[in-house]
Amino acid sequence: MSTTTPTSPLTEQPKFRSSWTQKLSRLVQPFVLLAPAGVWLLLLLVLPALLILELSLIPGFRLGQAAGAYGLGNYFDIFQFTYLQVIGRSIYFALGATTLCLLLGFPVAYWIALMAPKHWRNLLLVAFILPLWTSSLLRAYAWITILRPSGVLNSMLAALHLPTQNWLNQSPAVFIGMAYSFLPYMVLILYASLEKLDTRLLEAAADLGATPQQSFWKITVPQTLPGIAAGCLLVFITSVGDFVVPELLGGASSMTMSRLIYNQFLGATRNWGFGSALSMIMILAVSLAIALLLRYGDRNSSLS
C-alpha cells in the first residue's frame, strides 16, 4: 500500500491492488450513493413537472374528462384582466414585502454583525430567526388575533386615544404578515454578507474624513450588494409563492397567484389545465429569478 502517493483524495482511490472487483466497486459506488435519491427526485419532481407542462398545453383540461387537443389556450386565458390583476397583485405584495424586509432587516443585520458585543452575535442571530422555526400558519393566525377589529392592536390604539384601524382582510395585513414571515430570511442572508465586510476600510474612510453616511454608501453598500440581491430575491420568490399569509390575512379581495392555483385544483373550478399553466408561469418566473441570482449574486450567501 505504501507505494501509492495520495492524489486528490476524495475523487480517487489508491490505484494499487486494482483487481476487477475493485474496478467494479468503483463503478458501482457512485451509483449506489446517488441513484436512490436520483430516482426519487426523478419520479416525484422531474416527471411531475413535465406532466404539468403537458397538462398546461391542453386547453380546459378537467380531471375525468377525455383530454382535448394540444394548444396554448390556457396561456392565452391568463391574459384576461382579472387574472392579470391577480398576477399583478402577487407581484405587488411580494415587492412590498421585499422592500419592507430590506428596510427593516438591514439595520438589524448591521447591528448584530458589526456593532453588537462579539460573544452575543451568534446568540442574537439565532434568537432573531427562532420564530422562523414555528408554524407559519400559527404565526399568520397570531396576526389575525392582533389585527382583527376587536383585536390587540385596536385595544392598544383605543387605550392611547388613537383612531382604530381595520387592517385585517386588507392589503396592510398582507404586508405585515409577509414582512413578519420573511424578515428572518433577509436578516440571515444580510448577516452572512455583513459579517464578511472588511471593517478596516470603514476605519480608513473615517480616518480620511468620510462621514458615516459617505462610508456607508461608498463602502458598506457596494460590498454587501451581492448579499442584498440574494436576500431580496429570496424574499421576493418566497412571498410571490406564499399561500398562507394572503389566504388568512388578505381576505376575499386579495386573491393571489397561489390562491388562484389552489382554487383551480382543490376549489370548485377544477380547471386543471389552467391551473397547470399558472403553475408553469410561476415556475418559469422563479427559475428566471434564480438564474439572475446565480449569474449576478453572491454564491456563498445565496443558499445558506
Per CB under 8 A, the list member of 137, 157, 288, 292 interacting with another protein is 137
Contacts (Cβ under 8 Å, ≥6 apart) of 22 = 13
Burial class (CB in 10 A: 0-12, 13-18, 19+), 74: buried
What is the dihedral angle through the alpha carbons of 297, 300, 301, 304, rounded to the nearest 10 degrees?
130
Cβ-based nearer residue to another protein, 42 or 84: 42
Per CB under 8 A, the list member of 24, 84, 126, 292 interacting with another protein is 126
Distance in Å, CB of 104 to another protein, minimum: 6
Q: Does 135 bind another protein (CB under 8 A)?
A: yes
Interaction residues for another protein, span 164-193 (CB under 8 A): 180, 183-184
Interaction residues for another protein, span 67-96 (CB under 8 A): none
Any idea what the Cα angle at residue 153 is, between residues 152 and 157, rounded to 5°? 120
Dist. CA 245–CA 197, nearest whole Å: 34
Dist. CA 199–CA 288, nearest whole Å: 34
Contact letters for another protein, residues 10-49 (x by CB under 8 A): xx-xx----------x---xx-xxx-xxx-xxx-xxxxxx
Cβ proximity of 238 and 290 under 8 Å: no
Distance in Å, CB of 33 to another protein, minimum: 3
Question: At 176, is the secondary structure helix, strand, or coil?
Answer: helix
Q: Does 112 bind another protein (CB under 8 A)?
A: yes
Question: At 24, is the secondary structure helix, strand, or coil?
Answer: helix
> What is the residue whose three cell numbers read 388578505?
250
Distance in Å, CB of 59 to another protein, minimum: 16
Q: Does 269 bind another protein (CB under 8 A)?
A: no
Interaction residues for another protein, span 214-253 (CB under 8 A): 215, 237-238, 240-244, 247-248
Q: Does 98 bind another protein (CB under 8 A)?
A: no
Give the number of residues written for the chain. 304
Per CB under 8 A, the list member of 199, 218, 267, 288 interacting with another protein is 199
Q: Does 148 bind another protein (CB under 8 A)?
A: yes
